[in-house]
Structures are given as structure tokens and as C-alpha cells.
């Protein structure tokens, strides 16, 4: 890998997100990453690298040592063979396809991969799975994404599969998530194992079977002080 050879620190790629902003009076679209992801990864001993979701970015899989797939907008439902629900906000269908190609390249290269929220959903769809497009219609409540005027995290107690990677990482008797999502895994993709669930049965963690480290979590890692998942990703990248 080019990262450790040149800097002594593993390089973790972060899939960029885009958003319109107004800066110094001008409207523009920017690529960005949540600062907490950058800070947590850097503090764990890696060099974070923002990866724009442009055609050809998958070629960078041989220049990084791990991949973080953060939260973001809903996926294009045509990727899993469905029409959009009225509540689905699929803002970046072209970027969805580019991102799936990057994730596929990272997995094929054996890179450690951590998917957060949308990132976990991308892992599932990549493996042929599908999504519940509006979770409150399935669970009967909005506890996973509270219906409030401002951004509010929900809390969900977790049941973890004993012996799973995610159970070893969290190492708690009664872990609780901080979540903000209205979509979730429906049909689990081939080659994936569900390893965490909310009390209402919603899948909250998945792992790619027979991969050294490829984990997806549905909760908002990065919006709380908990750095364990970021540290685990960097540790796995450093082992390579």
C-alpha cells in the first residue's frame, strides 16, 4: 500500500458527500466529510483521504488501506428493483452507482470497510439486498428518526450476536445506539450476516461473511463521542 510506505500511517478513504452551500455570497456545491470522522480517524493513527464520487474513483482502491462509507441521502430504489416511496429522497443516483463500484473494488482488494447508516445500506444493496424505504410503516413508530423540527437522534437498545465482530468491538451488556434513519435492511444480501438488531427487529449491524473486516452499522457513529468503530477500522488497516 502506498499510504504506510510513504507516511508510516495507514490511509483511510472516506466517501465524500455533496451539498449546496452559500459561501461568501456565492451559491455552490461542495464535497465534504463530517469533521468527527476525520478527527476520530486521525486520532486513531491514520491519514484520512476524502474520495469524491466521480467516475474512476474505484481505481484508488489500490492506493488506500481502508474505506469508511458514511451516512447520507437515500439510495436510488431502482438499484434494488423498486419504485421510490413518497418519502424516499434519492438525491444522487449517479453517485450511488459510483460509490457501489468503489465499495466493490475495496472489498475485492480485501480492504477493511466500515459502513455507517447509508454506508450499511450500500453494503446490503451491493450484495443483492433490499431496503425498507420508510421504516415507520414497518415498525409503527418513529423512534429510529424522531419526527421533530430539528435534527434529533433516536435511541435504540441493541441485541448483538454473541461472538460477532460487532459484539467484540462494543463489548457491552446492553449497548444503546444513537440513530437517525427512516430506511433499513429488508432482504439481507447474499454473503452478509446480520449481527445486531433493535428491539423492534430492525437490523442494526451486518458483517460481510468471510471478509477480514467489513462491517456495517445503522446508527450514527460520528455523532457521539464513541470512537470505537473508527479505531477498529484503523487498527484493521494497520494490520495489513
Instruction: Give me the pLDDT at residue 3, please.
Output: 47
CA of 142: how far to CAs of 37, 73, 138, 159, in Å? 26, 18, 10, 19
Residue 181 has a pLDDT of: 92
Q: Mean pLDDT per 10-residue run, the chain (240 residues)?
A: 62 95 93 96 98 97 97 95 91 92 98 98 98 94 90 91 94 86 96 96 97 96 94 94
Write down the pLDDT at residue 7: 60
Burial 111-144 (b: 16+ CB within 10 A, else e): bbbbbbbbbbbbbbbbbebbbbbbbeeebeeebb
Check: CB of residue 240 under 8 Å from CB of residue 12: no
**Would you kindly state where each structural domain of the chain is located, as residue ranges?**
2-17+28-239
Alpha helix stretches (DSSP H) within the chain:
2-7, 35-43, 93-108, 118-126, 136-139, 165-170, 228-239
**Residue 5 confidence (pLDDT):** 45
Q: How many CB atoms lie within 10 A of CB 1?
A: 16
CATH of domain 2-17+28-239: 3.40.50.880
pLDDT at 4: 47
Per-residue pLDDT, 42:
98
Task: Cite the DSSP H helix spans in 111-218.
Answer: 118-126, 136-139, 165-170
Amino acid at each position: 500500500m502506498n499510504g504506510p510506505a510513504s507516511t508510516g500511517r495507514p490511509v483511510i478513504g472516506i466517501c465524500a458527500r455533496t451539498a449546496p452551500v452559500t459561501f461568501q455570497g456565492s451559491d455552490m456545491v461542495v464535497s465534504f466529510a463530517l469533521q468527527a470522522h476525520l478527527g476520530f480517524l486521525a486520532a486513531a493513527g491514520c491519514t484520512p483521504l476524502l474520495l469524491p464520487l466521480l467516475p474512476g474513483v474505484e481505481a484508488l482502491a489500490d492506493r488506500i488501506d481502508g474505506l469508511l462509507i458514511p451516512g447520507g441521502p437515500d439510495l436510488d430504489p431502482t438499484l434494488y428493483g423498486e419504485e421510490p416511496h413518497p418519502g424516499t429522497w434519492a438525491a444522487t443516483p449517479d453517485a450511488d452507482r459510483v460509490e457501489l463500484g468503489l465499495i466493490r473494488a475495496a472489498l475485492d482488494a480485501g480492504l477493511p470497510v466500515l459502513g455507517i447508516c447509508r454506508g450499511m445500506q450500500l453494503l446490503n444493496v451491493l450484495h443483492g439486498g433490499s431496503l425498507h424505504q420508510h421504516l415507520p410503516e414497518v415498525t409503527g413508530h418513529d423512534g429510529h428518526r424522531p419526527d421533530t423540527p430539528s435534527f434529533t437522534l433516536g435511541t435504540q437498545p441493541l441485541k448483538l450476536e454473541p461472538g460477532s465482530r460487532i459484539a467484540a468491538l462494543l463489548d457491552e451488556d446492553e449497548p444503546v445506539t444513537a440513530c437517525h434513519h427512516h430506511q433499513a435492511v429488508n432482504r439481507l444480501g447474499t454473503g452478509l450476516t446480520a449481527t445486531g438488531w433493535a428491539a423492534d427487529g430492525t437490523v442494526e449491524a451486518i458483517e460481510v461473511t468471510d471478509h477480514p473486516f467489513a462491517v456495517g452499522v445503522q446508527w450514527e457513529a460520528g455523532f457521539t463521542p464513541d470512537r470505537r468503530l473508527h479505531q477498529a477500522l484503523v487498527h484493521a488497516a494497520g494490520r495489513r
